[in-house]
Amino acid sequence: MHTQMKTASNTAANPAPDSAIDSVIDSAFSERRLVGAVVMVARHGQPVYQRAAGFADRETGQAMQHDTLFRLASVSKPIISTAAMVLVGQGKLALDDDIARWLPEFQPLLADGAAASISVRQLLSHTAGLGYRFFEADEHGPYALAGVSDGMDHSGLTLTENLRRIASVPLRYAPGSAWGYSLATDVLGALIERVCQLPLAQATALLVTSPLGMHDTGFHVTERARLATPYVNDTPQPRRMQETEVVPAFEDTVGIRYHPARAFDPQAFPSGGAGMIGSAGDFMRLLEILRSGGGTLLQAALTDAMGSVQRGADILPDTPGVGFGLGFSVLHDPHAAASPESPGTWRWGGAYGHSWFVDRARGLSVVAFTNTLYEGMSGRFVNDLRDAVYQQLTTAQLTEQAA
């Protein structure tokens, strides 16, 4: 892959793209599928592509910058999962410990009223039997009736109260027996608080963000001017997100409740699964330390465990060839997934419009943060960018071999 460091924002398509990656980005803007994006690619620890394109705020003409801040949504999950793994490495947690040791008040029951135990591993792998409110069909689902927050609304709840409400709803299945994307990482955040005896923001800074120099990453924003404005895909172009809006992410679901102003409220409860704010560069630091084996942050055996498909999480719904590790998905069958990625590739995204992946076999880390949902999380842009990265990589390898 050729080394290319773009430093200027690009608000329109380039007539002669410099690379396959540029072509994908330019097409997304010319077809008005994205408003703004920051894309970074590193290989074997070296930055090989970086571009900020489009608008952080279209209406004011504010250009996207490399250090623009984004509402991370589920990109929060790998950060909080890493914090938990650091505690495992320090011997303060064990993956198969029953979380009741630290959260005795969190005791959700099975549907038949029987007691159940949940382990740290099951929270990390989303096999704990929990769910998400936004997956329910309507406002009469059990999480909706319990008043559970998914972590992106401005609910006014505390983390303690939200956990109480989650625990009041029966588990969807026996922990460890199946996989279901869920509020497990919010529960994990409460567990980290209890183990560290610190608020989650301070604990996360102590365990992960400060050691890695992720100074832009936290649970609320003080530099408002740096935060990207969110947009929702629409025709003929994405529309600015309203302050209180529900946008379904999947068919036949009630949808995600968004309150973008939550990012400015230091009193909003710290949602470990969806509540963080950060920059693409910060998140690349995290991916690179994990890809390279954990450095001084985490033992190599624990980073390997994060990238290993867990029991009960070997098959994800509607995602052939993909399972789940401890904090993110893991590709185990590229052919079934119709993907050029190597077996073992890590991946996940965020509802505000983000995607990322790490292909350890090829030395690749890729971050794509956008301010356009859901194109930047699960739209055409995601696979197009993936394919362009591998196209560029293959071309570079062939050129090197020919030379």
Contact between residue 316 and residue 179 where contact means Cβ atoms under 8 Å apart: yes
What is the Cα–Cα distance from 52 to 281, expressed in whole angstroms?
11
Compute the chain's Rg from CA coordinates.
Answer: 20
**Is residue 210 among the annotated active site residues?**
no
What is the Cα–Cα distance from 173 to 112, expressed in whole angstroms?
10
Nearest of 42, 75, 89 to residue 297 by alpha carbon: 89
Catalytic residue among 19, 74, 76, 339: 74
What is the Cα–Cα distance from 133 to 140, expressed in whole angstroms?
10
Nearest of 287, 371, 228, 344 to residue 41 by alpha carbon: 287
Contact between residue 237 and residue 32 where contact means Cβ atoms under 8 Å apart: yes
| Run of H or E residues at 75 | none
297: Cα within 13 Å, side-chain hemisphere: 28
| Run of H or E residues at 76 | helix 76-89
What is the Cα–Cα distance from 350 to 375, expressed in whole angstroms?
11
Contact between residue 34 and residue 372 where contact means Cβ atoms under 8 Å apart: yes
How do the residues of the chain divide into helix, strand and coil, expressed in percent and rounded to 5? Answer: 35, 20, 50
Tell me the C-alpha to C-alpha distance, in Å, between residue 310 and each of 122, 285, 321, 341.
Answer: 9, 25, 14, 20
Q: Among all residues, which ones are annotated catalytic? A: 74
